Structure 1
Amino acid sequence: MAATTAQSMGSLPSGVEICTTAPDIFYLPELVFGGLVWILVASTHVVSPNPLGWVMFVSVFCFVMTFLWMVVFAAGGHKSSSGWAAADFIYHGLAVLFYLSAGVDLAFITIVVKPVDLRTYQILLSAVVFAFATTLLYFIHAILSAIRWKHF
């Protein structure tokens, strides 16, 4: 285990190694939790004007970008370059800011709008919880990516 961790801090993984190294193991949970935010918000009926547009943008954008990022890493397109290590940290740092703002927006809307039925309220509340859980996952990934970039 120590050899794997030491190797991951000095180089970028590719192939199946992205499922075993410290920062990259968070790709799949980020996709699952971010996808849940997307699905939960999309399943609610909101009236015009749509106050959840930013939340939908963030969840869809981060889902697609994280998937593409994971594919690039799995395919070895980064060629273990320090520029990719920096870009990995920057992307995940931006994702933290995006998801944090979307989670706060979603929590505010859930409290203020007071959905008429209990089911919609429960769906939005679940989306809030998953948005903050996704924020935490991206935050941990960003910190570990910064450590990896520092050791590159």
Structure 2
Amino acid sequence: MAMPSEGSLPSGCAVFATVPEAFFLPEFVFGGLVWILVASTRVVPDNPLGWVMFVSVFCFFFTTLLLLLSLCGANQSSVCGKLDVAYHALAAFFYLSASVALASVTIALQSDPANFKSYQEDIAAVVMSYVATLFYALHAVFSAIRWKRS
């Protein structure tokens, strides 16, 4: 993976070959898995799981939007570097808070043998949520490094 030239954001197919834009695909995969796994379980405490669903859908939608803008080359404005850093830092923070809430709900399900399937799905969702958090945080850090160099 290569870093793009200083001061420019990659566009077109170069998006998939540069850091941090290469993190778009893992963000999709792990964020989508969180969305699917949480949606497939029983919503026992609706407030924390509602936050997790909001975060996963919100981030999936805006990551898609940013990826499409990058592929079309509409990310060449001077504001786009700042927007990239701000969005991915916010997404990492949101996913971290959702991961903690989801882990709390999952720990509460541990003692109920009737919800063993939901417990297993929630464990998988917690792992995927923390992995998504990691990729969003890495994307934010590498975007900030690129933005500071420009």
**TM-score for the superposition, normalised by structure 1:** 0.91
Aligned length: 148
Q: SS of the residue aligned with 2:48?
A: coil
**CA offset at residue 138 of structure 1?**
0.3
Shift of the 90–49 alpha-carbon distance from structure 1 to 2, 3 Å rule, reads closer
Alignment of 1:93-104 (within 5 A): 93-104=89-100
Contact 2:109–2:115 (Cα < 8 Å) also in 1: no
Unpaired segments ≥5 residues, structure 1: none
Please report the RMSD computed on the Cα atoms of aligned residues, expressed in angstroms.
1.5
What percentage of residue pairs aligned between the two structures are identical? 53
State which of 44, 62, 76 in structure 1 corresponds to 2:73.
76
State which of 124, 127, 130 in structure 2 corresponds to 1:126.
124
Shift of the 113–50 alpha-carbon distance from structure 1 to 2, 3 Å rule, reads farther
Unpaired segments ≥5 residues, structure 2: none
Provide runs of 4+ in structure 1 moved above 2 Å: 47-51, 113-117
Shift of the 74–59 alpha-carbon distance from structure 1 to 2, 3 Å rule, reads same
Which digits, 9 at most, give the CA deviation of each residue in 1:96-124, with x for residues without a partner?
10000000000001112435332111100
